[in-house]
Amino acid sequence: MVTVNGARYERTVEPRLLLSDFLRNELGLTGTHVGCEHGVCGACTVLLDGEAVRSCLMFAVQADGHAVTTVEGLTDGGGGPLHPLQAAFHEAHGLQCGFCTPGILMTLVPFLRDHPHPDEREIREALSGNLCRCTGYQNIVAAVRLASDGIPTPDR
């Protein structure tokens, strides 16, 4: 039994099934992406009881009795208004192909909860476990600053 984005699911699964595959294939929550399946890229990051974890490094059975939040959970199943962090990414052009984005958002949600006003070094440190092959991170950092302090980074 697992709670995902507020809804309870009961399923019988193979012990070896990864949490990432469970979310994507069993529950159809395909907003959680998979980029490496060995804990390097961070694309698969979700919240487990409010903390960021890599869903490719967990078995689905390990989530038994816990609450999982995926990117869909930030907007009430994908249809609600954008979360302020998502809005900041939109405003600051914090994504290009967007494949890394859900994992980055799910990494930053608890980070900003614990560090409401991070400086640039702290932001980069927080992002160091997520790979983005498109943006070069500049605008991701700008988006986090915008979300945390309302500071728009001037266009370069």
Q: What does the alpha-carbon distance between residue 138 and residue 123 come to, in Å, rounded to a whole number? A: 11
Among 11, 14, 39, 76, binds ligand FES (CB under 6 A): 39
- Please, what is the Cα angle at 102 between 118 and 98, to 5 degrees? 105
Site string for another protein, 59-78 (x = CB under 8 A): -----------xxx-xx--x
Among 24, 52, 126, 140, binds another protein (CB under 8 A): 24
With binding defined as CB under 8 A, does residue 54 bind another protein?
A: no
Helical spans, DSSP H, in the chain: 19-21, 84-91, 101-114, 120-127, 138-149
Among 2, 4, 52, 105, binds another protein (CB under 8 A): 105
13 binds, among another protein, ligand FES, none (CB under 5 to 8 A by kind): none
Among 13, 40, 61, 87, binds ligand FES (CB under 6 A): 40
Q: How far is the CB of 134 from another protein (least distance, A)?
A: 5
Q: What does the alpha-carbon distance between residue 97 and residue 49 come to, in Å, rounded to a whole number? A: 29
Among 9, 35, 61, 67, binds another protein (CB under 8 A): 35
Which string of DSSP letters, residue by residue, matches 88-116?
HHHHTT--SS-SSHHHHHHHHHHHHHH-S
Q: What is the binding site for another protein (CB under 8 A)?
A: 14, 16-17, 24-25, 28-38, 40-41, 43, 70-72, 74-75, 78-79, 82, 86, 89-91, 93, 95-102, 105, 131-134, 155
